[in-house]
Amino acid sequence: MRQIAIYGKGGIGKSTISANLAAGFAERGLNTWYVGCDPKADGSMTLLGGRKIPTFLEQKKEGGKDEDYSVADGFKGVKCVEIGGPLAGVGCAGRGIIVAVHALYKEFFDDRIDIIIYDVPGDVVCGGFAAPLREGFANEVFIVTSGEYLSLYAANNICRGLNNLGVDLGGMVCNSREVDDEESSVSEFAERIGSKLVGFVPRDRVVRDCENLGRTVIEGAPDSEQAKRFRRLGERILENKKKNIPSPMAPEDIRELLRKRTGST
């Protein structure tokens, strides 16, 4: 069973990447699960036609039993779970992730599953958000970033967490923000931390149009160039064999890398 955790800066497009990967894997006939770990619980909506599902923690709060949780069927049979979490500023979302994933393993996960995608929030791998890794639930990590400084800074910080935990990084995914020399900047960053760029996703309005309709691009525009790009990204992730514990850069070296790429002094 492949268990993939997707990390990255808030707002960088982790859920878009995760949902389209899940749709692409399911399209290939793989038994695929999407586990949303964001307290907003909205990452699976494009797999569910725009529908928001009750969260696991909401059910627990209402006294529901673990085994009674209703797992939603999404596009091509993708099993969708939203863990949920506390209100902003109240409680620890990471603690909820631990409780929920333990219950999912006990009641729902089995050896018929081909791949589980954990869509994990947070700019840093804090004690709570590191739960899928520290508890051994995820055995592969991919980081979504762009060529912007703050995205790379967050990615580097996540690498620092992986280094501290001794967890391998499968690679970087660049979700473009159309900055200059972006693909090569992220590629160089990946090389300098001992990893690689596994995919570049250019900006395309078809993503927004499909999300407005509650669809992934794989479902909403299956013949588009963007859908083909998501499928290629999925293939590269499935074929990926190289994983390394990353060696994070000094933050000032990230800025130097970008300054060199933009030609500034």
What average pLDDT does range 22-49 have in this prediction? 94
pLDDT band for position 265 (cuts 50, 70, 90): very low
pLDDT band for position 254 (cuts 50, 70, 90): very high
Integer Cα distance of 170 and 245 in angstroms: 9
What average pLDDT does range 60-65 have in this prediction? 82
pLDDT band for position 242 (cuts 50, 70, 90): confident
Sheet with 2-8: list strands edge to edge. Answer: 72-73, 79-82, 32-36, 115-119, 2-8, 140-145, 171-175, 197-201
Annotated active-site positions, please?
Answer: 9, 14, 40, 123
pLDDT band for position 4 (cuts 50, 70, 90): very high
pLDDT band for position 123 (cuts 50, 70, 90): low
Residues sharing a CB contact under 8 Å with residue 213, sequence separation 6 or more, in sequence order: 50, 220
pLDDT digits (tens, 9 = 90+) for 129-159: 677 777 778 888 999 999 999 999 999 999 9
pLDDT at position 43 over 70: yes
Integer Cα distance of 151 and 99 in angstroms: 29
What average pLDDT does range 4-10 have in this prediction? 92
Please check whether residue 186 is in contact with residue 174, taking contact to mean a CB–CB distance below 8 angstroms.
yes
């500034």: which residue's tokens? 264
Average pLDDT, the chain: 90
| Cα 97–Cα 101–Cα 103 angle in degrees, nearest 5 | 125
pLDDT band for position 125 (cuts 50, 70, 90): low
Range with lowest mean pLDDT among 75-79, 86-90, 97-101, 181-185:
86-90
pLDDT at position 264 over 60: no
Range with lowest mean pLDDT among 59-63, 142-146, 207-211, 218-222:
59-63
Count CA atoms within 13 Å of residue 84 on its CB side.
14
H or E segment to which residue 24 belongs: helix 14-27
pTM: 0.93
pLDDT digits (tens, 9 = 90+) for 163-201: 988 889 999 999 999 998 999 999 999 999 999 999 999
pLDDT at position 89 over 90: no
pLDDT at 65: 87
57 alpha-carbon distance from chain centroid: 20
